[in-house]
Amino acid sequence: MKEFKFKISGKDYTATVEDLNGGQMKVTVNGQTYQVEVPQTKAQAPRVATAAAAGAQTGGPKNVNSELPGTVTKINVANGQHVKRGDVLLVIEAMKMANDIVSDVDGTVQRVAVTPGQSVNQGDLLVEMVADCVAAKPEVAPKAAPVAPVAAPVAAPAPASAPVGAKVVTAPLPGTVTKIVSKVGDTVNVGDTVLLMEAMKMENNITSEFAGTIKAILVEAGAQVQSGQALVELN
């Protein structure tokens, strides 16, 4: 188990991360526990498409559930509205962060099951959708690739840590940096968003708890970061 301490908007947080079996992690923030699923890639045997599969259709009901407890602050869609994959359906505030709940399919909103200001728990239904039907393409069995020699593993570089006494914005939980909002030299105030990070299948606005000028951006878009890792340094 690993323990991290960090501060968001002047409030202290203590988080513990525990690895579980089957690609599961248990993250506890100030006594509130979240179950996090870590995607794992498994090798699959090649498949050959049948004639029936060549004309198959994909689509159907698709429910969007809350990945963590919080409060609904904004709803961006209405019943009957068509959305694209990646569109923001609604916003949930959790752990002092605004989390964008996005659609992972193209489809039509059947019913919005929550209202602004409503508190939700992990797993609660947020939006009922019907995914668009798309003709599935026939699969072709891949040719066996030659086995390449396995290279010796190379140790990954240690994540950037915050210098003692520095004004540094850190990651509140593990995730992936999706967008850098600010740049070196920008002036930011307390509460300004400096970057976006995807964690627990939600996009989180990472805000500065300091006022100042950005001295260095310590990560780049697409980077995997750990809880407590330094993201942005200010003067």
Amino acid at 149: P
| 54 membership: H or E segment, kind and range | helix 51-54
pLDDT digits (tens, 9 = 90+) for 76-96: 999 999 999 999 999 999 877
Which pLDDT does position 114 carry in this prediction? 96
C-alpha 146/C-alpha 33 separation (Å) is: 45
Residue 181 has pLDDT above 70, yes or no: yes
Could you give the CA distance from residue 103 to residue 106 in angstroms, rounded to a whole number? Answer: 7
* CA geometry: angle 93, 98, 100, nearest 5 deg: 105
Q: What angle do CA 40, 46, 48 make, to 5 degrees?
A: 135
Choice among 66-70, 95-99, 217-221 with the minimum mean pLDDT: 95-99
SS3 100: strand
Higher pLDDT, 20 or 188: 188
- Choice among 13-17, 126-130, 171-175 with the minimum mean pLDDT: 13-17
Residue 138 in this model has a pLDDT that exceeds 60? no
Choice between 33 and 128, residue whose per-residue pLDDT is larger: 128
Q: Report the range out of 57-71, 106-120, 139-153 with the highest average pLDDT.
A: 106-120
Q: Averaged over 5-33, what is the pLDDT?
A: 75
> What's the sign of the alpha-carbon dihedral 78, 83, 88, 93?
positive
DSSP structural state of residue 142 = P
Q: Which domains does the chain have, with CATH numbers?
A: 2-38+162-234 (2.40.50.100), 57-135 (2.40.50.100)
Non-local CB neighbours of 225 within 8 Å, separated by 6+ positions: 159, 171, 174, 175, 176, 177, 197, 219, 231
**87 CB contacts (<8 Å, ≥6 apart)?**
76, 77, 102, 103
